[in-house]
Amino acid sequence: MKKRIIGIIGLSMLLSLAACGQAAAGNGNAPAEPAGETEIEAGVPDAADTEGTWSIVPPQSDGQKNASKKNRGESSGKSGKSKDRKDGGQTPEGNAGRGSGKKHGDGKKSGTNNDKESGDGAALVLQDGDALTGGTYTAEDADQSAMEASGTVSASVTGAVLNKTSGDASDADAASFRGVNAGVRVYGDANVTLTGCTVNASAKNATGVFAYENGVITMDGCTVTVTGGGAGGVQVAGGGTLYGTNLTVTSASKAAIRSDRGGGTMVLDGGTYTSTGSDGCPAIYSTAEITVKNAECVSTNSRAVIIEGKNSVTLENCTLSGNDQSTKEGSVKANVLLYQSASGDASVGTSAFCMTGGSMKANTGAMFYCTNTASVITLNGADLELSDDGTLLIVSAGRWGRDGKNGGDCTMNAKNQILTGTIAVDAISKLTVNLTEGSSFTGAVGGEGEIRVSLDAASTWTLTGDSYVTSFTGDPSRIVSNGYTLYVNDVALSGTK
């Protein structure tokens, strides 16, 4: 069979996500790695593999696959935490506080513990039944928050200014996992409503607003600005819950919308969420169940969305853009990353990305990249603008996981969806594409992995290059060949237009 190159894919990268928010049933190639284990990177490909073009080729025989693996020059080796594993990309830094204004802002500790796990109190410690209006509360000491609520507290704050201006966190993990040193920290069984408040966090490792354990935060019309290093905008971890309406959140180090170990739930409706940090600072980083509606989410120098492990991001009528500037050797530039690290921050399982309506722009790299995990990508009437790279989806081994077992297992469900671009699947990865409800795909598919495509009676596929799949389900006449050939198990499919 004649092999035909379908075009250049900017893969200085290639090493060589069924309903919204619901785990896929796929087989999955992600290894069941123990929590906390040091990350294992997949090794670095030869220079020849990281430069130049990538061709869609028919599947190889077992012998050819073995030879190909040897020639890639891959090797295993333990490494430290990578920029892509966490959304920060910078060395974690720290924060602190002092109170002024309300009597509550006397700097009293929120509990009897005064260690790096529980924090060092807050400028404003909320009591059950508090309904405060106005005031400025400033925290300047290490491990101290501007405002804190814990225990069985139910309170509200309106129009306050909450500043975390200095004081480094004494422990970066306590800050990132439990909210120590945050501008606003709600934990235990506390339930706090913030209306029209302004939160400024400029100290190191000072998250803007943090819900931890059974803590619940409800925000409306608030502004959160985080300029210190090693911290995100609004965050949940350890099971916390945060609801936000019409928020303006800006973060200069980690994700504007963020979660960490232990996950939780975040539901945001309206507002703008902007991440301005360097590589590793996406608009959304999920180790939780995150839903965003009617909002604008922007990352100026990183991916738009990162989902780690058995977690999800659900978007409805949102506008997103990313500008991935990954520089670590072996990185694959992509707007949405679905992956599994060995950090212990996320359980092994299916990563789920669901987008209904709205638009998403990739300024660099592929639109989607699945590696070292099972994933489900569900798209319904979303407007996707590819980068000049022209790549829709890459499913492959990468920097995370054990060599030979760190491919992706991805299901892409398109409903009433227009798709364009190239899809590439490496030898140890799997992909299922389901085009339904009047979807159209203009592009080419191939690689050495297992690729299954199904097309319902209302959907179409227009080839832009010879394509290679393991199986095809549907009416061949719904495929417009455009002068190219679809090969199914190395056999040219007949009956195409």
* Per-residue pLDDT, 417: 98
172, two tokens: 């970066």
* Per-residue pLDDT, 278: 83
User: Mean per-residue pLDDT for 172-198?
Assistant: 97
Binning pLDDT at 50, 70 and 90, where does residue 118 land?
low
3-class secondary structure, 184: strand
3-class secondary structure, 381: coil
Most distant CA atoms of the chain, gap in Å: 81
* Per-residue pLDDT, 468: 97
Evaluate if residue 339 carries a pLDDT over 80: yes
* Per-residue pLDDT, 233: 98
Amino acid at 426: D
HSE of 263, CA atoms in CB hemisphere, 13 A: 18
Binning pLDDT at 50, 70 and 90, where does residue 330 land?
confident
pLDDT: which is higher, 122 or 65: 122
Q: pLDDT tens digit string along 410-442?
A: 999 999 999 999 999 999 999 999 999 999 999
User: Mean per-residue pLDDT for 325-336?
Assistant: 88
Evaluate if residue 7 carries a pLDDT over 90: no
Q: pLDDT tens digit string along 41-58?
A: 333 222 222 222 233 444
* Per-residue pLDDT, 280: 82
How many whole angstroms separate alpha carbon 123 and alpha carbon 351?
39
* Per-residue pLDDT, 113: 35
User: Mean per-residue pLDDT for 70-80?
Assistant: 29
Give residue 437's region: left, alpha or beta (phi > 0; psi -120 to 50).
left
Closest CA to 201 of 233, 175, 172: 233
Of 16-25, 190-199, 292-301, the one with minimum mean pLDDT is 16-25
How many whole angstroms separate alpha carbon 268 and alpha carbon 220?
10
User: Which residues are bridge partners to 344 per DSSP?
Assistant: none
Q: What is the mean pLDDT of the chain?
A: 81
User: Mean per-residue pLDDT for 115-143?
Assistant: 88
Evaluate if residue 37 carries a pLDDT over 60: no
Do 31 and 406 touch, CB atoms closer than 8 A? yes
Evaluate if residue 378 carries a pLDDT over 90: yes
Evaluate if residue 284 carries a pLDDT over 50: yes
* Per-residue pLDDT, 250: 98
**Percent of residues, the chain, with pLDDT higher than 90:** 70
Binning pLDDT at 50, 70 and 90, where does residue 328 land?
confident
What is the end-to-end Cα distance of the chain in Å, rounded? 20
* Per-residue pLDDT, 46: 26
How many whole angstroms separate alpha carbon 61 and alpha carbon 259?
43
Binning pLDDT at 50, 70 and 90, where does residue 94 land?
very low
